[in-house]
Chain A
Amino acid sequence: MLDIMNLTVEVDGKEILHEISLGIGPGETHALFGPNGGGKTTLLMAIMGFPRYKVTSGRIVFKGQDITGATLDERARLGIGMSFQRPPVVRGVKTRDMVTASIAARGGEGGVDIDRLAQRLNMGELMDREINYGFSGGEIKRSELLQLLAQEPELVLLDEPESGVDLVNMALIGEMTNELLQSGLGCNRTRSGLIITHTGHILDYVHASKGYVLLNGALRCRREALEVLDSIKGQGYEGCVACMR
């Protein structure tokens, strides 16, 4: 599904990621761990294709197609979707508008029942509010999930889906994230995912096969996701990396 080869990325002229390589097969979900500032978000942004994240060498291949030079919107239409950790407020644009635009942009009629989905995500009253305006942390997560469920991407990039979510909402977010990855929307595509997580709480709901630690812009280990998590919990990132080396 996704193959990243020797990817080096700079932001505002500064090299952040150094020769990253990883591959995610169809139906696989991988977890990305690492300290703040390690480059996790940069990797997601580079895969998604944000112009500020400049690939200076290496390649990104999605569904067999080299997308290293593809624009952000082209990648979205090809089937890559991302949840934002801190999405911007867009005044006057309602949540419902974003959801319908997401469906339309992918050319989908798709049988996505927006209102039903919104209801399941407890989003009813947020649908006609301006997107992200005055949303709580949990509301942002649910709104991002709703947009992705409507967009139906084949590769899902999630940036800390559990941060800022209270215990009551965690189950809902976790289950819906799992549903998103399991492509439980009546279509038979097999979705893949790459999830940034600090706490690993999301892994109680989502099965991630592999895990990585991204430290100082380099991928430092790759193993069973829960093993990596345990190791980080026990010994911290540096310790984890040292032990795996």
Chain B
Amino acid sequence: MHEVRSSAKTRELAGKAADKKASLGEDVDLSTYTSDGDKHEYQQDLSGIPSEQRDQMVNVGVTLDDLGLRGGTFLQVDQSVIHSSTSQEGVEVMPILQALETHSWLEDYWWKAVDVDVDKYTANVELAEPSGYFIRTLPGVKSINPVQACLYLGHKNLAQKVHNIIIAEEGSELHIITGCATHPMQPSGLHLGVSEFYIKKGARITFTMIHNWAPDIAVRPRSAAIVEEEGVFLSNFVCMKPVRTLQTNPLATCAGDNSVVRFNSVLVAPHGSTLDTGSRVVLQGRGSRAEVISRAITTGGDIIARGYIQGSAPEVKGHLECRGLILSEELGGVIHAIPELRGELAGVDLSHEAAVGKIAEEEVEYLMARGLTRDEATATIVRGFLRVDIEGLPPELAAELKQAIETSEQDML
């Protein structure tokens, strides 16, 4: 079964890279994790999901009570797919293994956006039994309700390995809300997630990902998107809960003319968390555009906020914005913003702004002069800082995103 999708070539490349350290982030020793999780039963009506898992899933934006509110639902616990369904015609949601069996052409998308031998994390995803999701909109189909996906890590010390493929066919629209979660008391674990996005001509994907991990979890997502002519890819990433180490640096390539990519990240690092997150966009299509925005707050942990935009075609435009706020004086915490721009020909228009600091006393006093206490003023400013108004995001997803941020804010403040 494993051979369904693997060419000898990718297997060979993966084998060679199985111990290859990543270029960024702390090296995670894979030998300390197990690959054998418990097997979990498939749930047709979701009533058998234990309440603690249910709560965590809801916290990352998953709706379990009425699946009709979603265009489709995919739930995975450890390495087991426990539910996969779709409620809109023209929207496909299925376990990746099933998709590989159903669509023989899927090998054309398998490790085509992400290289299998980038590092040991991608290689080990390839070398494992495939799990993860396949989500696709057929040509011209507009996603009415967002599709939801949740990857839940429950087994102690498990290395969860996931390979997802997401395709929006020509002229289609696909909205996805995805949550990665574990129990807040989960002792340890590792999440390796490869996601490959393909946005065809004139198509649009909005992808909102919320991470709620635990203090001893290591996370290494490896994502990439290829956006064709007039395609749009909006990606939002929210990680506000403790996580021991998270390193990710997704790459979007605006391959087609006039394609658009926007990355937004909202990051909070409590004491003991290290987040090394970035977003990269390569503008290859004429007139393509990119915006990379990150908001980073440390309440004691460390954040490296990277951003990279490369202009390789005429009339491209890109803007990077990294803003960081250091909230804790006692617990320390570092924010390291690394915005990078690379222009390869005349006529590209790339810019960035980066700012790191504490909350300006002047702003706190301005609000206090209106009658807010110091704490209320600080909370208002932090809330404003984390507010990302994302152009082009459907109102329903914007509301989900806002709610996820507000829930986490309460813990932080």
Partner pick for B368 among A72, A81, A106, A151, CB 8 A cutoff: A72
Contact A88 B363 (CB under 8 A): yes
For A80, the closest partner residue in chain B by CB is B369
For B385, the closest partner residue in chain A by CB is A92
Q: Which positions 293-350 of chain B face chain A at CB distance < 8 Å?
A: 323
Partner pick for B366 among A87, A91, A94, A151, CB 8 A cutoff: A87
A244 interface residue, CB < 8 Å from B? no
| Interface-located stretch among A97-105, A119-127, A210-218 | A97-105
A72-B365, A101-B367 as given contacts; A92 in contact with B384, CB under 8 Å: yes
Partner pick for B369 among A82, A91, A94, A106, CB 8 A cutoff: A82
CB of B408 to closest CB in A, whole Å: 16
B217 interface residue, CB < 8 Å from A? no
A84 interface residue, CB < 8 Å from B? yes
Q: Using CB atoms and an 8 Å cutoff, list the residues of chain A in contact with chain B.
A: 48, 50-51, 71-73, 76-77, 81-82, 84, 87-88, 90-94, 97-98, 101-102, 105-106, 130, 147, 151
With a cutoff of 8 Å between Cβ atoms, the chain B residues found around residue A88 in the complex are: 360, 362-363, 366
CB of B386 to closest CB in A, whole Å: 7
With a cutoff of 8 Å between Cβ atoms, the chain B residues found around residue A147 in the complex are: 370
CB of A45 to closest CB in B, whole Å: 10
For A90, the closest partner residue in chain B by CB is B363
B380 interface residue, CB < 8 Å from A? yes
For B374, the closest partner residue in chain A by CB is A73
B373 interface residue, CB < 8 Å from A? yes
A50-B365, A105-B376 as given contacts; A91 in contact with B384, CB under 8 Å: yes
Q: Once the chains are docked, how many angstroms separate the CA of A207 from the CA of B367?
A: 29
Q: Once the chains are docked, how many angstroms separate the CA of A101 from the CA of B369?
A: 11
CB of A239 to closest CB in B, whole Å: 35
A73-B372, A73-B374 as given contacts; A97 in contact with B380, CB under 8 Å: yes
CB of A90 to closest CB in B, whole Å: 5
Q: What 1/0 flags go to B351-387 for Cβ under 8 Å of A?
A: 0000000001011011111111110110011011111
CB of B36 to closest CB in A, whole Å: 46
Contact A93 B372 (CB under 8 A): no
A-B CB proximity, top 8 nearest: A92-B384, A105-B371, A93-B384, A76-B371, A73-B368, A102-B370, A92-B387, A72-B368
Q: Once the chains are docked, how many angstroms separate the CA of A71 from the CA of B365?
A: 10
Contact A105 B386 (CB under 8 A): no
Partner pick for A93 among B323, B373, B376, B380, CB 8 A cutoff: B380
Give 17 CB contacts A-B under 8 Å. A72-B368, A72-B369, A73-B377, A76-B369, A88-B360, A88-B362, A88-B366, A90-B366, A92-B384, A92-B386, A92-B387, A93-B383, A98-B370, A101-B370, A101-B372, A101-B376, A105-B372
Known: A73-B368, A93-B381, A105-B370. 4 other contacts (CB 8 A): A88-B360, A90-B367, A90-B381, A97-B380
A72-B365, A87-B366, A105-B376 as given contacts; A92 in contact with B371, CB under 8 Å: no
Q: Once the chains are docked, how many angstroms separate the CA of A94 from the CA of B365?
A: 16
With a cutoff of 8 Å between Cβ atoms, the chain B residues found around residue A48 in the complex are: 369
With a cutoff of 8 Å between Cβ atoms, the chain B residues found around residue A94 in the complex are: 384
For A98, the closest partner residue in chain B by CB is B370
With a cutoff of 8 Å between Cβ atoms, the chain A residues found around residue B363 in the complex are: 88, 90
Most chain A CB within a 10 A radius of its CB, from B367, B374, B377, B385: B367
CB of A13 to closest CB in B, whole Å: 18
Q: Once the chains are docked, how many angstroms separate the CA of A39 from the CA of B186?
A: 60
With a cutoff of 8 Å between Cβ atoms, the chain A residues found around residue B384 in the complex are: 90-94, 97, 130
Q: Which positions 11-37 of chain B face chain A at CB distance < 8 Å?
A: none
With a cutoff of 8 Å between Cβ atoms, the chain A residues found around residue B373 in the complex are: 73
A72-B365, A97-B380, A105-B376 as given contacts; A91 in contact with B385, CB under 8 Å: yes
Q: Once the chains are docked, how many angstroms separate the CA of A82 from the CA of B377?
A: 17
A88-B360, A97-B384 as given contacts; A102 in contact with B365, CB under 8 Å: no
Q: Once the chains are docked, how many angstroms separate the CA of A72 from the CA of B367?
A: 10
Q: Once the chains are docked, how many angstroms separate the CA of A53 from the CA of B372?
A: 19
Q: Once the chains are docked, how many angstroms separate the CA of A50 from the CA of B323?
A: 27
For A147, the closest partner residue in chain B by CB is B370
Contact A106 B371 (CB under 8 A): yes
